[in-house]
Structure 1
Amino acid sequence: MFWRDLLPEKKMEMDREHYYAAELQKPGPITHVRLKIFPEGSVSRLRPLCRSSVAKRTR
């Protein structure tokens, strides 16, 4: 699987929420997200917010 970058590398701070909507790159539809942490550390949660690109089915 080829992983495309959605965000450039960023320095982050602890105990903060980070918002990067303006810096997101547009690679097309996304099905999976991979989080890389350098140097090794921990993340308590990752919440990617998204919308479905699939048209809603009508009954």
Structure 2
Amino acid sequence: MSEIQKELEEAIKCFGIGDIRTIELSKKRDIEILREQKEIYRKYKEKKDVRSSKDMSISFN
């Protein structure tokens, strides 16, 4: 679990979901999740591209 996620959960417990501190931490966590998802997609796309290029090679023996 990320540090921001831990802080967010603690802020929710202490201040509630409507508090500005909780909202700002939630925004930071959203950005963190976005970056993680982009990295996952990039790795997926790399793997897919490698597979596609292998599938496209044809041998005429």
Same-fold status (TM-score > 0.5): no
Structure 1 or 2, whichever has the larger Rg, is 2
Q: What's the TM-score once normalised by structure 2's chain length?
A: 0.21
Of Structure 1 and Structure 2, the greater helix share is in 2
Higher relative contact order (CA 8 A, sep 6+): 1
| TM-score, reference length from structure 1 | 0.21
